[in-house]
Amino acid sequence: MTENSSPSAVQQLPYAPSDPDAPRLQQVHVTVDAAQELGALDRPWASLGYDEINWTYTPQGRRTLRTIGGFAETPYHVRPHNIFNSGTGFGLPHWGSGNVYHEDADGKPFYDFTIADLTYDAIVEAGHHPLVELAFTPLALVPEEARTDFPFGDSPSQYSGYEAGWWTYPPKDYAKWGGLVAALVEHALERYGADEVQHWLWELWNEPDISYWKGTPEQFHELYDVTVKSIREVYPEAKVGGPAVTGGDRGAEFLRGFLQACADRDLPVDFVSFHTKGSHFTPWRTYGPIGAPASLQQSPSTPKMLREIDRALAVIEEFQRYAGQPVIVDECDASVPAHWGIYDNSNFAYRNNEYYPVFQAKLMKKVLDLNEQHTAKVHEATTWSFQIEGERYFEGTRSFVTAAGVEKPLMNAYRAFALLGDRRIAASSDSSADISDISALGNGLAEEVDVLASRASADGSVAVLVWRHTDDQYAADTTTARVDLEVNGLDSGDWTVQHYRIDHSHSNSHTVWQDLGEPQDPTPEQLATITDRQGLERFAADAAVTVDGSLSLTLDLPLPSLSLLVLTRAV
């Protein structure tokens, strides 16, 4: 229903595999200076979103939110679609309904917050805050022209023309839309209180630059005007923003027009949002056997995502009034769509294994580096990942868990992020990719070892995240690269070193499942074996070391892999 689902919506730059015979990294030097603080370590990873709002409050949806809330170092913003869509509340892939808005026989609006309460209760109770995407048009507000402009034939696999696309039309009565928005904000304040709702974000629509908005840009600007004023009349302190455009040329142009219209109308934009995707595999759906032939093997492109972020930040910087506001890339994903997997296109296999968590670590660090080149800065880079009801084990969907709630390796990237301290410290690698010139990067980053390091204000512990990765999921290399890690600026004395690892053999439920024969109906004993290995695992026993200002360690990293070292002063 979203996520650039038409081929024209995405600049198609999937990264084709590199030469399998190309030489691999053999020895790398990484240096960390624990005494050189670079300021607060922002947490761009602390947000998630998904299409299927009605899966928020299923048993598995609640468990997934609680799991993340249990290890998260800060509350996540959670952004589901479809709160205003009409429907039964029955969850389907790529679709959902909050079913809030209704009208009586005389056309007078009334509201039902049953599904909204289930949704936001689940998010808040797990320790997170909603990013409320105010979308899409309820059935009672669909204009008459939708039925002729978007005709629909009876189909046993679709409910009606409304689900097929009428929801994309601007509401026929902007005053009633404003009343709906105000009613939701008022209800949220009554149910959760201002102490909670002060953390919520309120965003109009989703990707209005493509087919999810059948109106004109000017109609969208007017709807934003109505929406903001309706929210602020109820809750003056509310944080409002948008426009959640795609990362292509059309998205950049729509973003520019939106910000200009807001400036002209003297409207607040408390955060600016847009999206980026790393690949739209071609052909998108193969209908073929599992396992892509070499001619069809493709991988997500980090440079594509960085170029789209870079361009959008430059557009925002054209408007001094808004350039200092937080930027939210509230769909920031390696490939589209979320609900497709290896049975649609085998290139989605990376979502099951160690490639994806390492990709995420690399991407988040590059986003932080990109922020240093801009006045406008990415505050959140949202993974559009949650969970898919009814899937097969390791279906390859973009999700934190698979069937039976088994956690995929992706979850462990976020566990590793949570162990980083609050202050960023200087760190460098002699094999990291240079992103100072985004246009020169090509379609994929070559193999690198890179690093992100931090210090915790509370106890002085130092965390060093080191990874080996290339934008080629078919380039796995079990031959390790030697990484000579030097950590300087440490207080002299006794320290403890904890070493966590994500690779083919660690923190990887997928590998365990494969070793058991890939059962689609695992026995209780097999399921216990899988879940026992699904968390973030130690690579080695904790080590006690005596430090005289610096510490030298050697890591052996296969491709792809990630190591997290946490250095703590001994008590």
DSSP-assigned letters across all residues of 389-434: TTPPTT---SBSB-GGGPBPTHHHHHHHHHTS-SEEEEEEETTPPP
Asked which of 194-198, 439-443, 550-554, 566-570 is least confident by mean pLDDT, the reply is 439-443
Residue 207 among the catalytic residues = yes
Task: Using alpha carbons, select from 502, 433, 438, 430 the residue that is nearest to residue 465.
Answer: 502
- Say if CB 509 and CB 406 are below 8 A apart: yes
Percent of the chain with pLDDT over 90: 89
Residue 226 reports pLDDT greater than 50: yes
Distances (CA, A) of 248 to 143, 216, 542: 29, 18, 47
**pLDDT at res. 12:** 36
Percent of the chain with pLDDT over 70: 96
- Say if CB 533 and CB 512 are below 8 A apart: yes
Task: Using alpha carbons, select from 183, 443, 470 the residue that is nearest to residue 350.
Answer: 470
Residue 4 reports pLDDT greater than 50: no
Q: Give the mean pLDDT of the chain.
A: 94
**pLDDT at res. 16:** 54
Q: Which two tokens stand for residue 498?
A: 């904890």
| Distance, CA of 354 to chain centre | 17
**pLDDT at res. 14:** 47
**DSSP one-letter string for 209-277:** TTTT--S-HHHHHHHHHHHHHHHHHH-TT-EEEEEEE-SSHHHHHHHHHHHHHHHHHT---SEEEEEEE
**pLDDT at res. 245:** 98
- Say if CB 368 and CB 321 are below 8 A apart: no
The pLDDT tens digits for 274-284 are 999 999 999 88
User: What is this structure's pTM?
Assistant: 0.95
Residue 8 reports pLDDT greater than 60: no
Query: Among the CATH numbers 3.40.50.970, 3.90.950.10, 3.30.420.40, 3.20.20.80, which is that of 42-418?
Result: 3.20.20.80
**Which residues make up the CATH 2.60.40.1500 domain(s) of the chain?**
23-39+422-569
Task: Please tell me the distance from the alpha carbon of residue 31 to that of residue 54, in angstroms, as a whole number.
Answer: 47
Residue 385 reports pLDDT greater than 70: yes
- Say if CB 560 and CB 447 are below 8 A apart: no
Strands 423-429 and 77-80: unpaired
CATH class held by domain 23-39+422-569: mainly beta
Distances (CA, A) of 527 to 61, 63, 84, 524: 19, 17, 38, 5
152 pLDDT tier (thresholds 50, 70, 90) = confident
The pLDDT tens digits for 483-535 are 999 999 999 999 999 999 999 999 999 999 999 999 999 999 999 999 999 99
**pLDDT at res. 153:** 77
The pLDDT tens digits for 87-143 are 999 999 999 999 999 999 999 999 999 999 999 999 999 999 999 999 999 999 999
19 pLDDT tier (thresholds 50, 70, 90) = low
Task: Using alpha carbons, select from 402, 383, 393 the residue that is nearest to residue 334.
Answer: 383
Task: Please tell me the distance from the alpha carbon of residue 11 to that of residue 303, in angstroms, as a whole number.
Answer: 12
**pLDDT at res. 156:** 73
1 pLDDT tier (thresholds 50, 70, 90) = very low
**Cα-Cα-Cα-Cα dihedral of 322, 324, 328, 334, to 10°?**
110
Residue 247's φ and ψ, nearest 5 degrees, are -90, 0
Q: Which of 3, 133, 163, 207 is catalytic?
A: 207
The pLDDT tens digits for 36-85 are 999 999 999 999 999 999 999 999 999 999 999 999 999 999 999 999 99
The pLDDT tens digits for 415-432 are 999 999 999 999 999 999
Residue 168's φ and ψ, nearest 5 degrees, are -85, -10
Q: What angle separates helix 174-192 from helix 217-234, to the nearest 10 degrees? A: 40
Q: How many CB atoms lie within 10 A of CB 262?
A: 23
Q: How many CB atoms lie within 10 A of CB 383?
A: 27
**Which residues make up the CATH 3.20.20.80 domain(s) of the chain?**
42-418
Residue 172 reports pLDDT greater than 70: yes
Question: Which of 71-93 are b and which e, b meaning 16 or more Cβ less than 10 Å from the residue's Cβ?
Answer: bbeebbbbbbbbbbbbbebebbb
